[in-house]
Amino acid sequence: MAASLLRLHFHDCFVMGCDGSILLDSVGGILSEKLAGPNINSVRGFEVIDEIKYYLEEACPHTVSCADILAIAARDSVVLRGGPSWEVWLGRRDSLTASFTGANQFIPLPNSSLVGLIANFGQQGLDIGDLVALSGSHTFGRARCLSFRQRVYQDYNPEEYHDRYQKQTTFRRVLSSICPETGGDQRLAPLDYVTKNLFDNEYFINILQERGLLHSDNVLVNEDHEGEILSRVWYYASDRQAFFSSFVESIVKMGNINVLTGVQGEIRRNCRLVNI
């Protein structure tokens, strides 16, 4: 569940800001972000957030926002899987609505090009350094076949890339055994085959060997013609602490995207519903 809780924070912040909007169900005039393409049958952990909120409301009613819970849960999930810790800035308030359209528009897709990723992160005020560091969160967790099918079948041209991808034959065979060309959309594979349950820097070593699970992982190396991103990937692959430091800086920055404070929004009593 650790990677899923981190992903909830990420998907929340990229739509309207870090305001807990991803937690809202479809009620009344609200169309839930949970139903958007990048989220449906994919994001999870809502019951964990519900349980945390229940205990917080019992102990200290109407005080801790759902948006802050997401930020804290993301940090604790990383720590519990061997990653770095950081001080979470608190005081976010919860949105009064959700954006189904925004979830479809702003959450990066697993088949994104590098140009698309840079533009997508730029819309959130995040730069190339943030893109590389936050991509390192794919050092743990799993992805659905639907998300990496293109990487297995469409990204491979044996005539053009035979020599280059010769070493990838076994890896592709493993992936194709999990994810057929048709069907099996919900089958899962680890984002990091080497240390799939640890938050470490193995992700960067993997993509240097062209063993990133998602197309959007591999483009950090394959489509970086300037070399700026590749140099960061090499740096993080060789120095775990350097990656940890950059990740902390970038996730704190991400956690402050368009936050609601003061009298904006509200502090929900139930993370799935706006207050009555």
Q: Per the annotation, where are the binding residues for substrate?
A: 108
Q: Where would I find the beta strands (DSSP E) of the chain?
A: 142-144, 188-190
DSSP code per residue over 242-274: HHHHHHHHHHHHHTTTT-B-TTSSB--SBTTB-
**Phi/psi at 147 (nearest 5 deg)?**
-85, -25
Cα–Cα dist 29/151, whole Å:
38
User: What are the binding residues?
Assistant: 12, 15, 17, 19, 21, 33, 108, 138-139, 192, 195, 200
Of the candidates 11, 162, 215, 225, the residue annotated as catalytic is 11
DSSP code per residue over 105-121: HHSPPTT--HHHHHHHH
Is 62 designated active site?
A: no
**Phi/psi at 188 (nearest 5 deg)?**
-115, 150
Q: What is the identity of the amino acid at 13? A: C
User: Which residues are known to be catalytic?
Assistant: 11
